[in-house]
Chains A and B, each alone.
Chain A
Amino acid sequence: MTNLPPYASTGQRLWHYGFLAICVAIFFFLIFPILVIVPLSFNAEDFFTFTRKMLALDPDGYSFKHYRDFFTNPDWQQALTNSFLIAPVATLLATGLGTVAAVGLSQSHVPYRGAIMAILISPMIVPLIISAAGMYFFYSRIGLQGTYWGVVLAHAVLGTPFVIITVTATLVGFDRSLVRAAASMGANPLTTFFKVQMPLILPGVVSGALFAFITSFDEVVVVLFLGSAAQKTLPWQMFTGLREQISPTILAVASIMVALSILLLSVLELLRRRSERLRGMTPG
């Protein structure tokens, strides 16, 4: 696909470059909306489009005022704090329970494996509005609606499928004879798990944890129904801001979050390389 043979006909050449052009256009479609908001977030005016001054690269056209608003406005700061109070706890819960269960699922003899897997994955598949509705009714009955722990538990359960999937995927490549070797040398199961198995599946666990974190950090539907004003998270604040005519501060928040996702992506890429190196492959 990549290199044309020297004997390619004109038609083949045309098609080849046409195809590349189509792909470039699709990549542009994927990435442009995300990147375009970054310069717009420095807009000195409260507009959502490039002003004449911005296009002329006039420094007066740019300012940090939307960022300043984000970092000084108590509403946004409260939302940010709440997000950081909820997401890590939900992540810990999801990662802990999910990793242990994935290790259990990877054993060779698990009765009703398919059914159990289906139940454990279902929080990822069921539409969020349905999960939110069910949780809203049920958690109201048991007094968890509108509480911190209600939101944390809900976010944790939504994050577990990702942990299960990523850890299970790493366990597929795990050499079971290492566990047997450790056991034959006298290590008890706990030591074997923490000294032998855990370091090797760590990349899977960490990327599962990242997924769980981002699930909670980015989740809005469930928190809208389950949370009260005291649990207002960053996405909640963005959602209400977007629904009632948008404030330009959202662009600053969005840009910060884009930076966050770039950071996340880099961590994941490093993890992938590490796990490939551990398996004796040269990272590509």
Chain B
Amino acid sequence: MTQTHAPVLTQDGRPLKASLARALRRDKLRAFLLIAPLLAFVLLTFAAPIADMLFRSVENGIVADTLPRTVAALEGWEPATGELPDEPVYAALVEDLKEAVAAKTHTRLGTRLNYELSGMSSLFRKAGRSVQKIEGDDVKAQMIAEDAGWGDIQVWSTVKRLSPRYTPSYFLAAVDAKQTEAGVAFLPERERIYLMLFGRTLSMSIVITLACLVLGYPVAFLLAHLPLRTSNLLMILVLLPFWTSLLVRTSAWKVLLQQQGVINDILVWIGLIGDNARLVMMNNQTGTIIAMTHILLPFMILPLYSVMKTISPSYVRAAKSLGANDWTAFWRVYFPQSVPGIGAGAVLVFILAIGYYITPELVGGTSGIFISNRIAFHISSSLNWGLAAALGTLLLLAVMILFVVYDKIVGIDNVKLG
């Protein structure tokens, strides 16, 4: 009886508990060692770049790095007083500018400040040329004489506002707002483009998701109820577009939707529209919606199909045997069981739609583009990388929220392909 409290030992004399714990530790370590290479790879080549981009949306070292003395001298100055900064600030600015001109960094600073106040870019370029001439005392008067811009209190308050190393200004710009002396203010109605673009991206993604649902549900239903041999055959019609290059499908739609394209030709030929009244179906929202619905439809059908496959037909039969008509049996019994599939497909399609770039770029024209297209524009054309990063961060946030929702509905482990 006293023996019961002694630890159970394994054959080699260790306590069983310790031995098991050791085995478990070894298992965990082995699993981790297998995962580690990929984890490191993803963190290095993917997560780090994303983190870098997030950082770029608030990073603002350029003013402090290019004009260190000015920033220090501006410390005691308050734009609210309505007075221009004193002589020492101007002296510091001239010294900073001389260095910046030698390092050729003043134009970049001007470009950066121009995002906040137009005219800054040329002000700095001009100062770069004239600053060498300024010597002796009374620098303030000389500067203002060279360019009246230096006597503008708005210029100085912009410089001061952007002196900190981190700035919310890109995020404010991404939601069409701006920091002014009076605090944060939205831009005038007609200058607001990003809120409108975010809104359009969301609303068009919703339309595309709904279109996919309306078209995908009947097809998934049919596929799930046909005998396996037939449904596998028909499944090819869904999988072929799924496996066909995105660019091939986009070019196909470009060919079909053109004003001199196949669809318009057919409509003219059967006499539905006149030759001079050809429909404009491309380079607008219609084009984007049609092409993207086609491209994302398989992503709706496949999850719907895999859920419908698991719904036992006996429930519907039971409902009918209890007197339900076809519609009631479907709506009250079958449909609720297919809702998880709808959730999975809809969230997946929505996540994919909201970040689309290629298709809107090619068939969207100006009215059918998404926020992604604007991000690309700021990276490759306008070079306002901070704003691109801020817009990207907001888009990423939206996708991450959806990703969590998707994880709750489907579980990331249960994503199935093909």
Residues of A within 8 A of B (CB): 1-2, 12, 15, 19-20, 22-23, 26-27, 29-31, 33-34, 36-37, 40, 47-50, 97-98, 100-101, 103-105, 107-111, 114, 116-123, 125-139, 141, 153-154, 156-157, 160, 162, 164-166, 168-169, 207, 211, 214, 217-218, 220-221, 225, 235, 238-239, 242-243, 246, 250-251, 254, 257-258, 261-262, 264-265, 268-269, 284
Contact = CB atoms under 8 A, between A and B. Distances in A.
Closest CB pairs A-B (n = 9): A127-B355, A104-B34, A134-B49, A284-B228, A138-B49, A1-B225, A101-B38, A134-B53, A107-B31
Given A133-B392, A207-B418, A221-B358, A49 B218 contact: no
A104 B35 CA distance: 5
B244 A261 contact: yes
Contacts of B415: 121, 165
A199 B215 CA distance: 39
B32 A100 contact: no
Contacts of B385: 137
B9 interface: no
A97 B357 contact: no
B219 A23 contact: yes
Contacts of B232: 284
A105 B392 CA distance: 31
SS of A interface (majority):
helix
B222 A111 contact: no
B252 interface: yes
A282 to B, nearest CB: 10
Given A119-B47, A134-B49, A104 B33 contact: yes
Contact of A116 (B35, B247, B326, B389): B35
Contacts of A37: 248, 251-252, 255
B46 A125 contact: no
Main secondary structure of the interface of B (DSSP, over half): helix
Most buried by B among A33, A105, A138, A235: A33
Interface size class of B (residues with CB under 8 A): 35 or more
A148 to B, nearest CB: 14
Interface in B303-357: 326, 351, 354-357
B407 A130 contact: no
Given A30-B240, A40-B262, A156-B41, 12 more contacts: A26-B218, A31-B240, A109-B24, A110-B28, A111-B32, A130-B50, A135-B46, A156-B45, A169-B417, A207-B418, A220-B246, A254-B245
Given A97-B37, A138-B49, A49 B260 contact: yes
Contacts of B238: 30
